[in-house]
Amino acid sequence: MLHIKNLDEGLNVFKALGSDVRINIVKKLLENKEMNMNELASSLKITNGALTSHVKKLEDSGIVQVYSEYTGHGNQKICRVNVDKILVEIMAEEQADSKNIYDTDVKVGLYSDYSIYPTCGISTGEQLIGEVDDPRYFAHSDRVNAQIIWFSKGYVEYQIPNLLPAAQKIDQITLSAELSSEAPGINNDWPSDISFYLNDVCIGTWTSPGDFGEVKGIFTPDWWFPNWNQYGLLKLLVINKKGTFIDGLQISNVTIEDFKLDYKSSIKFKFSVNDDATNVGGLTIFGKEFGNYSQDIKVRINYSPI
C-alpha cells in the first residue's frame, strides 16, 4: 500500500496517473503480473522510447517496480505493479501541521513478549539468528537487530514507547507495518487471519492473502534464499474515536476511547495468528532491510490536553 499523508506529498503519484497511456500500462501489468519492456510496448502499440518515459514516471512515483532479469540473450527490464492500494489522506492544512503528534519506530525484533510455533525464524539483514524452526532463538540477544521474523501461529507483542508531554490524552493511534502470511516455502495463495490487539483487547482482524516470493523484495538482501518470504503488503491500522480501520476500511467498532489512554498509560500492541482462526496461515513481519518498504513498525499518536 502507498500511503499519501497529504495532497502535496502525493503530487508525483497524481501526475503519474494523469495519463491514459500510464493507466493502460498499470492495467496491463495487473493483468499479466509482470512484463518485460518489449512485451509492454508491443501490447500498447507504442515505441520502446515512448514507453521508457512513461514507465520512468510510474517508477519514480512508487507505483511500478522495474528490475533486471538475466536471460541467455542479455538483461531484460521487467516491470510489475508495486502497490496493492493507494490511500490518500485529505485534511485541512492546520490539521496536517498539528504539533500534537508523537512519532516512533519500533524494530521488528524489539518485541516484549512472544509465543510462537514453527515454521518460524528470525534474521538480521546479514544472517539468520540461530536455526530456523526453533522457537528458542526468538529469545536470543541478537533479536534486537532482527529485520524479519516469521511464524506459523502464535503472537509477538510490542511495548510502544509512550513519551507524550504531561497532561495529554491519546486521541488516535496509527500503526503501519509490512506483513504477509507464512507458508512452508512460499505460496501467494495462502490466506492467514492476522489479529491485532491493543492492551490485550482484540481491535480487529485482517486476512493476508499469501506469502509472497515470486520475485525478490526491493530491499531484501541479495544473500536471502530465493524460495523464502520476499516481501509483504504495507498495512495501515488506525484506531480513533470512530472505530478501528485498516487501509481506510472499518474492521471493528472498538474505539480509542474504550482504552482511556493518556501520557502515563502503558501501550502494548500484539500481532497474533490465533489457534481458532478460520485461516491459520502464519505471519511474517518485515523490517526496513527486507521487503518492498524501507521501514520498521511505524507508530503515530495524536494527542490533546486532558
Residues 62 and 131 in one domain: no
CA distance 81 to 152: 28
Average confidence score pLDDT of the chain: 92
Instruction: Please list, in sequence order, all residues whose beta carbon lies within 8 angstroms of the beta carbon of residue 225, skipping any fewer than 6 positions away.
Output: none
Q: 74 pLDDT exceeds 60? A: yes
Share of the chain above pLDDT 90, in %: 82
- What does pTM read for this prediction? 0.76
The secondary structure element, H or E, covering residue 113 is strand 113-123
Q: Do 7 and 33 reside in the same domain of the chain?
A: yes
Range from 12-16, 107-111, 235-239 carrying the lowest mean pLDDT: 12-16
Please tell me whether residues 74 and 112 are part of one structural domain: no
Q: For residue 96, what pLDDT is reported?
A: 46
Give the model's confidence band at 91: pLDDT under 50 very low, under 70 low, under 90 confident, else very high. Answer: low
147 and 291 share one domain:
yes
Q: How many CB atoms lie within 10 A of CB 80?
A: 16
The Cα–Cα gap between 56 and 27 comes to 16
CATH at 247: 2.60.120.260
Q: Are residues 105 and 76 in the same domain?
A: no
Backbone angles phi, psi at 299, to 5 degrees: -125, 135
Query: Do both 134 and 16 map to the same domain?
Result: no
**Within-domain flag for 60:** yes
End-to-end CA distance of the chain: 34
Say if residue 102 is in the same domain as residue 70: no
Same domain, 147 and 284: yes
Q: What is the pLDDT of residue 9?
A: 79
Same domain, 120 and 245: yes
My answer on whether 62 and 117 are in the same domain is no
- Domains in the chain, number: 2
Read off the pLDDT of residues 235-279 as tens digits, 9 standing for 90 and up: 999 999 999 999 999 999 999 999 999 999 999 999 999 999 999
Tell me the sheet residues that pair with 301.
102, 173
Q: What is the pLDDT of residues 119-162, one digit of tens each?
A: 999 999 999 999 999 999 999 999 999 999 999 999 999 999 99
Domain with residue 29: its CATH number is 1.10.10.10
CA distance 74 to 152: 40
Q: Is the model's pLDDT at 85 over the cut of 80?
A: no
Containing structural domain, residue 141:
98-305
User: pLDDT tens, 44-73?
Assistant: 999 999 999 999 999 999 999 998 877 666
Please indicate, yes or no, whether residues 29 and 106 belong to a single structural domain of this protein.
no
Same-domain status, 212 and 237: yes
